[in-house]
Amino acid sequence: MVKSSSTETLPKSFYITTLGCPKNTVDSMSMHQSLLKEGLLPANDPEASDFHLINTCTFIQDATKETIQTILDSIDLKKKSNQKLVVVGCFAERAGKEISDDLPEVDLHFGTGKYDQAGDILKKTFPLDFKEVKEFNEDILERLTLSSGIENYSKPYSYVKISDGCNRGCHFCIIPNLRGKFQDSSEESVLNETRKAIAAGAKEICLVSQDTVFYGKDTDKLLHLIESVSEVKGLEILRLLYLYPDKKTEKLLDLYGKIDKIAPYLESPLQHVSKSVLKSMNRTGEYSYFKSLFEKARSVKPDLEIRTSFILGFPGETKDDVDEIIRFIQDVKPEKVNLFPYSPQDGTKGALLEGKLKDKEISKRVNLVRDAYLEVLKDVHQARVGRTYDAIVDEVTEEGATVRRLQDAPEIDEVVFVENKSLRVGQRGKVRVDSFFELDMAGTWVN
Ligand code: SF4
């Protein structure tokens, strides 16, 4: 799509830059649809657009820095291309006043919870840039979803959001302040989104949320939802993300054993294993419970791999607490581990706690745990070599194909590079792992 501002007869165009996690990608898709409905057209890159929207992230300090840098870069771009710059999402929710005061180049900002009204908000703010939409055509809308920075529909996977917000109140986390209380989507709307994504070419659906197992609270609504989604015609792989490590996840694991389409993948962020640190983080669980939870996951799907995360340096954390994480990693051997240095976020209870550690000490602790994990990772990699896995082809280029084992989530985990150009995107089959790099692997397509 070309930039339209110079041609009076063409509608204006938009591009969405998405930062942060897959949940933001789903929100950007919702904005994309809303903007199309108001008659804007997608642009192929930010420079070519009349409206450049940035969907921001502020989950941790690094994410905030990346957001600010992206806004500053986009201001430079805006000066060259005379476009309107719109900042939305978590950072806009948190720092709306600072954006208004310090960044006059930002033409409009709005926070979370309004993604599906983006078109209407832009139209009311910039009425002269909108032409009347005579007839809204769903077929055109489906075809246009290939552009504007939202590329999921050209891939064999798609994200479907089942809820937003969170009621847990972990003391390090700003998300409940930004996204509000937990609200779940109806089963019908999740099924509709799933069907739409599959009709557009997805074979894998990743269900995302801030807190997946909170869906339906203490009822079996989540189990029912997963069963219903797994039965949607054309769906081949169902991946569940963000499972809080508690009894509900334990119950959910029984379904893993019963539904073949559920990917052999458990993503459960532990954040710590020391009972006292978890308590001060306002989270539940402890070493032995987490170990038994992960053992159960591996027993219901023997090939399953686990992704988890830890926050190092929370106020009051002792060296023994860090040793406990290291012991856990060596003992339980989660295949994929994210490590975050704790950084206090204004507006959270953690920021008010005593016992803050120096940044240098926090980095030291992160490095200690990382070293322990990298040792485990060598064994994890070595154990994969020579093994054959169920897989899906994500991308094919002149060099060959990017293939993903079902043990790996799209855009998050490792991939297998295969020198085979005859494969098709979305093709299912088996890949043998032949060797590995730091994270990714090289392999051979075997059927
Ligand atoms: S469960 Fe905790 S870490 Fe996750 S979104 Fe909710 S408050 Fe944040």
pLDDT more than 70, % of the chain = 92
> In this structure, which CATH number among 1.10.3470.10, 2.60.40.770, 2.40.50.140, 2.30.30.100 belongs to the domain 388-445?
2.40.50.140
Q: How far is the CA of 283 from the centre of ligand 1 (A)?
A: 9
Nearest atom within ligand 1 for CA of residue 166: 6
- The closest residue, in CA terms, to atom 5 on ligand 1 is 210
Question: Does the Cβ of 210 fall within 6 Å of ligand 1?
Answer: yes
Span 209-231, mean pLDDT? 94
Going by pLDDT thresholds of 50, 70 and 90, the confidence category of residue 149 is: low
Instruction: Give the per-residue pLDDT at 48.
Output: 86
pTM for the predicted model, two decimal places: 0.84
Question: Does the Cβ of 211 fall within 6 Å of ligand 1?
Answer: yes
Q: Is the pLDDT of residue 158 over 60?
A: yes
Instruction: Give the per-residue pLDDT at 152.
Output: 46
Ligand 1 pocket: which of 21, 163, 168, 271 to mutate (most atoms <8 Å of CB)? Answer: 168
Question: Does the Cβ of 176 fall within 6 Å of ligand 1?
Answer: yes
Ligand 1 pocket: which of 90, 162, 170, 248 to mutate (most atoms <8 Å of CB)? Answer: 170
Q: Is the pLDDT of residue 441 over 70?
A: yes
**Structure confidence by residue, pLDDT tens digits, 50-99:** 999 999 998 888 889 999 999 999 999 888 878 999 999 999 999 999 99
Going by pLDDT thresholds of 50, 70 and 90, the confidence category of residue 143 is: very low
What are the boundaries of each domain within the chain? 13-143, 151-263, 388-445
Instruction: Give the per-residue pLDDT at 41.
Output: 86
**Structure confidence by residue, pLDDT tens digits, 246-298:** 999 999 999 999 999 999 999 999 999 999 999 999 999 999 999 999 999 99
Integer Cα distance of 317 and 171 in angstroms: 14
Q: How far is the CA of 298 from the centre of ligand 1 (A)?
A: 25
Ligand 1 pocket: which of 177, 210, 280, 314 to mutate (most atoms <8 Å of CB)? Answer: 210
pLDDT, the chain, mean: 91
Span 348-371, mean pLDDT? 96
Instruction: Give the per-residue pLDDT at 113.
Output: 84
Q: Is the pLDDT of residue 219 over 90?
A: no
90 is in an annotated binding site: yes
Least trusted range by pLDDT, from 197-201, 206-210, 221-225? 197-201
Q: Which residue has the higher pLDDT, 3 or 210?
A: 210
Question: Does the Cβ of 166 fall within 6 Å of ligand 1?
Answer: yes
Q: Is the pLDDT of residue 7 over 50?
A: no
Instruction: Give the per-residue pLDDT at 4.
Output: 44
Nearest atom within ligand 1 for CA of residue 167: 6
Nearest atom within ligand 1 for CA of residue 179: 5
Question: Does the Cβ of 245 fall within 6 Å of ligand 1?
Answer: no
Going by pLDDT thresholds of 50, 70 and 90, the confidence category of residue 150 is: low
Span 375-383, mean pLDDT? 96
Q: How far is the CA of 12 from the centre of ligand 1 (A)?
A: 38
Instruction: Determine phi and psi for 278, rounding to 5 degrees.
Output: -60, -40
206 is in an annotated binding site: no
Q: How far is the CA of 225 from the centre of ligand 1 (A)?
A: 22
Q: Which residue has the higher pLDDT, 308 or 127?
A: 308
Asked if CATH classification 3.40.50.12160 holds for the domain at 13-143, the reply, yes or no, is yes
Q: Is the pLDDT of residue 216 over 80?
A: yes
Q: Which residue has the higher pLDDT, 390 or 176?
A: 390
Q: Is the pLDDT of residue 34 over 60?
A: yes
**Structure confidence by residue, pLDDT tens digits, 45-64:** 888 899 999 999 988 888 89
Q: How far is the CA of 228 from the centre of ligand 1 (A)?
A: 26
170 is in an annotated binding site: yes
Going by pLDDT thresholds of 50, 70 and 90, the confidence category of residue 229 is: very high
Going by pLDDT thresholds of 50, 70 and 90, the confidence category of residue 43 is: confident
CATH code of the domain made up of 151-263: 3.30.750.210
Nearest atom within ligand 1 for CA of residue 244: 1
Q: Is the pLDDT of residue 154 over 80?
A: no
Q: Is the pLDDT of residue 431 over 80?
A: yes
Span 224-238, mean pLDDT? 97
Going by pLDDT thresholds of 50, 70 and 90, the confidence category of residue 420 is: very high
Q: Is the pLDDT of residue 17 over 70?
A: yes
**Structure confidence by residue, pLDDT tens digits, 300-324:** 998 999 999 999 999 999 999 999 9
Token representation of residue 290:
């987490």
Span 26-44, mean pLDDT? 88
**Structure confidence by residue, pLDDT tens digits, 181-191:** 999 999 999 99
